Chains A and B, each alone.
Chain A
Amino acid sequence: MSLIINALTSNAAADFVQNSTAQVLSEGCLKAIGRPTFTLLDKSAEENERKYSATKEFLYQSLSMAAYFAIIFPFKKISYKFLKYFKPIKDLDVVKAKNKAEFDELFKNMPEGILKTKVKGANEVISILASGVILAMITPQIVNKIIHPIMKKLGIEKRKTLDRKV
């Protein structure tokens, strides 16, 4: 019990869960396990429907994590460039930084207060939007392209064509 309380109240746990990358990755990994499992358990659909949906779900969640790792970290190096599009902070010096190192330095030296909070918030909004584009727009299209070869390899689509012939 004391271990649980210590973990729930610790600074390290709070810092970890504050990071949107950590949030997306931990949630995504759990979804890759939970959703396909429950899809296969759904008795309201036929077997081939369930198998297609579960395979798609599993591929989507696994690929999302890979795409996220591959894109979001390089993106974070240039994300500061988009801060100028946020009206409430566009005139700040930190937003006019010429490179990531300069931005980090200026942000670090900003006095704690509402302006620093807004810059942090804008950074998180950019990160959420980028995640949305990667996870909801790019990844599903890639999954569409690779799902059928994989399903054929697993024998799921082959069985479907045999069923049709019968």
Chain B
Amino acid sequence: MRFRRASSDSWELREIHPLFATLLVDLPKAASRHKKAQARLYPDPTGGTGDEELRRDWKEHVRPELERLFSTSRDIVTRDLESLGPNGQGGKVVIPENHIDAWLNALNQARLVIVEENRFAESDLDHREPPDLATRRGLSLLKIHFYAHLQELLVEAAG
């Protein structure tokens, strides 16, 4: 897979291996499975110090804003991925420069969700051995690493 500047205001992913294309197509879906990751996606701003008023205000006013932001990011990524086709056979994804933040956000949502779903610990994520792709857990780890790689590329592009 190659990541390069496509024009003055866009980047592109091309020559995408079919396996990685599948992982890309799955990104918005993975990012939207918030059920098991609520506490991490919407953390307590007080850190559990018992400021009930702040916690209540946060739930009422901030959380809906965050939900909107996360949903908008996933929608933008979904639209950018349309060129790839449902099975990733399109072979190319164009990412406009002003969509990079949405991509970073959606990638982070997906990684957080997958970590929570699989209860991965820091040691699992730091593991340098290739994941065992014969297991669901191994595939999830591959997905996390692939999304992290994409994030690194996009952070560099954003910088």
Whether chains A and B associate is: no
Task: Give chain A's interface residues, CB within 8 Å of chain B.
Answer: none
Task: Give chain B's interface residues, CB within 8 Å of chain A.
Answer: none
